[in-house]
Amino acid sequence: MEKRKVKFSLVYRDMWQSSGKYLPRVDQLVKVAPHIIDMGCFARVETNGGGFEQINLLFGENPNNAVRKWTQPFNKAGIQTHMLDRSLNGLRMSPVPADVRKLMYKVKKAQGTDITRPFCGLNDPRNILDSIKYAKEAGMIAQAALSLTYSEVHTVESYVNLADTLIKGGADEICLKDMAGIGRPAWLGKIVEGIKAKHPDVPLQYHSHSGPGFAMASILEVCRAGVEYVDVAMEPLSWGTGHVDLLAVQAMLKDAGFDVPEINMDAYMKVRSLTQGFIDDFLGYYIDPKNRYMNSLLIGPGLPGGMMGSLMADLEANLESLNKWKVKNNQPELTQDDLLVKLFNEVEYIWPMVGYPPLVTPYSQYVKNLALMNVMQLEKGKERWSMIADNIWDMLMGKGGKLPGELAPEIVALAKENGKEAFTENPQSLYPDALGKFRKEMEENGWDLGPDQEELFELAMHPEQYRTYQSGAAKKAFEDDLAKRKAEGGGLFVKPSVAETVEPAMPVLSGQPTTMNINVNGETFRVTVSYGNESVTTEAPAQAATPAAPVSAPAEAKEILAPLEGKFYLTKNSSEKPVMVGDEIKEGDLIGYIEAMKTFNAIKADKAGKIIQIAKSSGEEVEEDDLLVLVG
């Protein structure tokens, strides 16, 4: 009997992103590519997608140049390249206009990417079917992904039916995206068998993370059931929050009777050595050592490996904030383990209540953030659900797609109380075409559209990051941050500082200037830095613009304080009108936002009156209980 073939795909991008924040520079990628080819065992290599391009921009590196140079050697060698895309969200965390999505596939095909893997964090077929259509129109292979998670509503039948819908809608292949590695092996095997029974000739690829411990057994089960491709990583970045190791998978499948490719171990050791060199060079400064561990506690909350790095950083920052409050209120402090267990328990508790969204980007972040906010509030004697960010409300109301399950009655009641209405139409209809606006911005700035309009695409997909890249601020911020880390000492897998919980480049909201005070020879200037078409302006003096402490006020003045720490913004986009000194506000009126854990939390007035003072500038860091607004 002929042995059935199983082929390997190296997730070289994702194995970095699942370990830390950054990926290698383009010169490093080009250096390692020939040796990956020489290993002789990969039919496919994951070359871009997801957060890859935003990270290039934060380096101050052109992502289009990086993708073209990185894919080229694999194209020449006949190894297929593939990318991950987030369907409605394109390559970012928030929804993308349809014309930008269409351009993405044309650009990526021109740059040398063969296969795209669109997934929807809610498994809403409407979002994925659009991506399949756009990808095929651009000449790409559309490998539609099932975002796998394990619950009472995520059944074998539901996933087999979803795959059937996507294949009938034009998908060339299916990826089983087990992003948290919590798919049970036998259950996964049944899903593969169900898909193969309906579509025996459609190639299937399995992607998993190793963290909870199921992955090796799962790979064996899905291969026995009919999977043709398996995603793997390699040392020194396999296992932990990353992916299974090539050597272990190859040996396991070979012993089980599969036809698997042999590995050129000389080339393997060269790739391993180069990868270690990239870690020693600078990437180790952004990899938390805890991300190298496997942890079966992850089975319960089902949080994906790709976000565990940011989770641990968030915990560090929030633990510090929470313990400050505990000390102030004569309560015993918590350890990080205490907070981690409370968070995992809260994720398990609220996940069914918010409709069982698969815990994959961005919804894994939303559920984690909501759970962490609940834990923080409950520890302070406040109520659960007292802080729900706008993008989480969008998820709950269906603006990103239909939730797999039903909202709990208390969430429905809370939505009604906050004036939130369910959205049932196609989510894309909420995000109109925008390329014309971005094209005009490029023309006004004298920026080249680039070959195949790739620079236009980059601005439209990542406007804030692209503007900071063009200004040079991103590169300077990254270099300053790296120099600081190196000066502090350390080496391999240096633990990120709390500062690393936010992006090193100054986040700039579209159309929203960032104001800061700069001291020059003892004189304070207020500087407004804006991006796009606005110039940099200064005015002096500015000592009173952002006071370090509350200014004196009438006895009847009332303080509106920050309910959490983060960055304060008066508005979150250019269409909103900020509150101003002299405005009359009522209890419940919006006064601004605090960005924490990459979500914007609406801050509402808990006191009424006329605004006497706005104590913080947009973009300024605030701590819990800092004065935001004074009313009288």
Average pLDDT (505-521) is 37
Say whether pLDDT at 352 is over 60. Answer: yes
| Range of weakest confidence among 30-39, 300-309, 332-341 | 300-309
Distance CA 278, CA 294 (A): 23
Say whether pLDDT at 310 is over 90. Answer: no
547-631, CATH topology level: OB fold (Dihydrolipoamide Acetyltransferase, E2P) (2.40.50)
| Entry pTM | 0.79
Distance CA 51, CA 21 (A): 9
Residue 232: per-residue pLDDT:
98
Mind listing the pLDDT tens digit for each residue in 411-454? Answer: 999 999 989 999 999 999 999 999 999 999 999 999 999 999 99
Provide the pairing of β-strand 80-85 with 523-529.
unpaired
Say whether pLDDT at 548 is over 50. Answer: no
Residue 18: per-residue pLDDT:
85
Say whether pLDDT at 309 is over 60. Answer: no
Say whether pLDDT at 361 is over 80. Answer: no
Distance CA 172, CA 168 (A): 10
Residue 324: per-residue pLDDT:
85
Say whether pLDDT at 46 is over 60. Answer: yes
**Closest-CA residue to 26 (of 54, 58, 68):** 68
Tokens of residue 431, six digits: 């995000």
Q: What angle do CA 120, 23, 291 make, to 5 degrees?
A: 75
The DSSP element (H or E) to which 524 belongs, if any, is strand 523-529
SS3 content of the chain, % helix, strand, coil (to 5): 45, 15, 40
Mind listing the pLDDT tens digit for each residue in 160-219? Answer: 999 999 999 999 999 999 988 999 999 999 999 999 999 999 999 999 999 899 999 999
Q: Tell me if residue 579 falls in helix, strand or coil.
A: coil
Average pLDDT (31-35) is 98
Q: Count of alpha carbons within 13 Å of 451, Cβ hemisphere only? A: 7
Tokens of residue 157, six digits: 């039948």
DSSP state of 94: S
**Closest-CA residue to 282 (of 54, 619, 531, 21):** 21
Residues 581, 587, 590, 592, Cα dihedral to 10°: 60
Average pLDDT (522-551) is 36
**Closest-CA residue to 315 (of 294, 342, 293, 295):** 342
Cβ 622 vs Cβ 562: under 8 Å: yes
Please report which confidence band the pLDDT of residue 501 belongs to, taking 50, 70 and 90 as the band edges: very low
State whether the Cα torsion 562-567-573-579 is positive or negative: positive
Q: Count of alpha carbons within 13 Å of 511, Cβ hemisphere only? A: 12
Average pLDDT (452-463) is 96
Residue 508: per-residue pLDDT:
34
Provide the pairing of β-strand 609-614 with 620-622.
unpaired
φ, ψ for residue 575 (rounded to 5)?
A: -80, -10
Residue 289: per-residue pLDDT:
79
Residue 275: per-residue pLDDT:
96
Counting other chains too, the contacts that 328-335 makes at CB distance below 8 Å and 24 or more residues apart are 329/380, 334/379
Mind listing the pLDDT tens digit for each residue in 122-170? Answer: 999 999 999 999 999 999 999 999 999 998 899 999 999 999 999 999 9
Residue 544: per-residue pLDDT:
33
Task: Please name the residue ranges forming H helices in 380-449.
Answer: 390-397, 409-417, 435-445
**Closest-CA residue to 600 (of 573, 624, 561):** 573
Say whether pLDDT at 79 is over 70. Answer: yes
Distance CA 482, CA 261 (A): 40
Q: What distance separates the 2 farthest-apart alpha carbons in the chain? A: 90
Residues 173, 212, 367, 121, Cα dihedral to 10°: 0
pLDDT exceeding 70 applies to what percent of the chain? Answer: 86
Residues 597, 598, 602, 603, Cα dihedral to 10°: 50
Mind listing the pLDDT tens digit for each residue in 591-617? Answer: 898 887 667 788 888 888 899 889 888
Distance CA 380, CA 563 (A): 11
**Closest-CA residue to 204 (of 168, 263, 163):** 163
**If you average pLDDT over every residue of the chain, what do you get?**
85
The DSSP element (H or E) to which 178 belongs, if any, is strand 173-178
Please enumerate in sequence order all residues whose Cβ is within 8 A of that of 166, keeping only pairs 6 or more positions apart, or say none: 125, 128, 129, 132, 144, 174
